[in-house]
C-alpha cells in the first residue's frame, strides 16, 4: 500500500548553484537524498511549474518547488521469537542489553529480525505503545543498555526524562590516538549536507549536542574513554569523536578504520583488523522509575569481542614495555 505525499517550498537564495537533489534534501530533511532523486527521475518534482527529471541540474535560488509522489507505507511490524538479553523487567519498563549487530527499529532493508520485532513477541501489549515502547535507540553495531516503556504513562515519563536530560547514559568508547586529558565536545549536529545517511557537525542549523568524556585507560596508540551524553543525537559520540580527530576504532563511516601502532604484535594486529564494528558500548543507564520514583541504575558488561580487543591492547602494551 502507499500514500500520496505533496510537498512545496521555495529554494533559498543561498542555495544558488547547488544541484537540485542537494537543494531538495535541505528543504525536505525527512526524506533521503536517494528517495528524492527517485522522485525527480519519475517526474514527480516540478520547479516553477515545470517537471524536471534530472537531479543534477543547478538551481539559481527563488524557484518554487513542488513534490507530488507516492510514498510506500512501511509494512506492519510483526512479532518474532528472537532472543533478548533482559537486564530488568517489571510492569512499567524493560531494560535490554542489546547485542552488537541487532537493528533497533525496522526500516528499509531491515523489516524483520529487529529489537522491535523481538519486543512485540516478548510483550504483545507493546503494540499499543509508540515504537513498541522504545524511547531511545542504539546504532546497529553499538552494544549495551536501552530502556523500553511498557505503558503509556511510563513512556511519557521516560520521554520527559530524556527531554530534560535527567536520564544518564554512560558509554565506553575505544578511540584512535593517545589522548592526554578528558573534556567536553559542544558542537551542533545535523544531517551531512551531501551524504544524507551520515551526521555532521554543522556551523549553522544543527541541533545542540554535548558529549563529556574522561580517560579510562591509555594504550600506546589508542585510548579507552568513559563517555557521558548530555544530549542524544543520532551518531553523536561517533561524530563528536571524529570531530576532535579521535574516531572510534572500527567505525568505517566516520574514519575509525583500524590503525596499527608501530611495532604492533601479531595478536594485536589480528584483533584490530578483525574488529568489524565501532568499539562503542552503552555500559550504564540511570533513570527515575516511572512508577516508584526511585532512582535506578543498571550496568552491562563489555561484550566478548570488545573485551578481547582490550585484552589484546593490554597484552601488546605489556610486551612493548
Asked if 88 and 298 touch (Cβ cutoff 8 Å), the reply is: yes
Residue carrying the nine cell digits 525536505: 28
Residue among 77, 94, 75, 74 at smallest CA distance from 86: 94
Asked if 299 and 286 touch (Cβ cutoff 8 Å), the reply is: no
- Give the span between the Cα atoms of 67 and 44, in whole angstroms: 6
* Set 21, 139, 141, 251: catalytic member: 139
Q: Note if 48 is an active site residue.
A: no
Alpha-carbon distance values, 319 to 176, 267, 274, 296 (Å): 20, 11, 20, 41
Alpha-carbon distance values, 311 to 120, 267, 272, 307, 315 (Å): 37, 10, 11, 6, 6
End-to-end CA distance of the chain: 64
273 — phi, psi (to 5°)?
A: -70, -25
Active site members: 139
Amino acid at each position: 500500500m502507499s500514500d500520496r505525499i505533496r510537498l512545496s517550498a521555495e529554494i533559498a537564495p543561498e542555495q544558488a548553484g547547488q544541484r537540485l537533489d542537494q537543494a531538495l534534501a535541505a528543504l525536505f530533511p525527512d526524506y533521503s537524498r536517494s528517495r528524492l532523486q527517485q522522485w525527480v527521475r519519475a517526474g514527480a518534482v516540478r520547479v516553477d511549474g515545470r517537471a524536471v527529471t534530472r537531479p543534477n541540474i543547478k538551481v539559481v535560488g527563488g524557484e518554487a518547488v513542488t513534490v507530488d509522489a507516492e510514498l510506500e507505507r512501511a509494512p506492519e511490524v510483526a512479532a518474532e521469537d528472537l532472543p533478548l538479553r533482559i537486564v530488568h523487567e517489571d510492569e512499567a519498563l524493560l531494560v535490554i542489553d542489546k547485542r552488537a549487530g541487532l537493528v533497533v527499529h525496522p526500516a528499509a532493508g531491515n523489516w524483520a529480525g529487529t529489537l522491535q520485532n523481538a519486543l512485540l513477541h516478548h510483550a504483545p501489549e507493546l503494540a499499543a505503545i509508540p515504537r513498541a515502547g522504545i524511547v531511545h535507540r542504539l546504532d546497529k553495531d553499538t552494544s549495551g543498555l536501552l530502556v523500553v516503556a511498557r505503558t503509556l504513562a511510563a513512556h511519557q515519563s521516560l520521554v520527559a526524562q530524556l527531554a530534560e536530560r535527567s536520564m544518564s547514559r554512560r558509554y565506553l568508547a575505544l578511540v584512535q590516538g593517545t589522548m592526554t586529558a578528558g573534556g567536553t565536545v559542544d558542537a551542533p549536529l545535523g544531517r551531512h549536507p551531501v551524504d544524507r545517511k551520515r551526521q555532521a557537525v554543522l556551523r549553522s542549523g544543527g541541533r545542540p549536542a554535548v558529549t563529556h568524556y574522561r580517560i579510562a585507560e591509555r594504550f600506546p596508540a589508542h585510548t579507552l574513554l568513559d563517555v557521558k551524553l548530555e544530549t542524544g543525537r543520532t551518531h553523536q559520540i561517533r561524530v563528536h569523536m571524529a570531530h576532535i580527530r579521535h574516531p572510534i576504532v572500527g567505525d568505517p563511516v566516520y574514519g575509525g578504520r583500524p590503525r596499527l601502532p608501530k611495532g604492533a604484535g601479531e595478536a594485536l594486529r589480528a584483533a584490530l583488523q578483525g574488529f568489524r564494528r565501532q568499539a562503542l558500548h552503552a555500559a550504564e543507564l540511570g533513570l527515575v522509575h516511572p512508577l516508584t520514583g526511585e532512582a535506578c541504575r543498571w550496568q552491562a558488561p563489555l561484550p566478548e569481542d570488545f573485551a578481547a580487543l582490550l585484552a589484546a591492547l593490554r597484552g601488546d602494551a605489556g610486551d612493548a614495555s
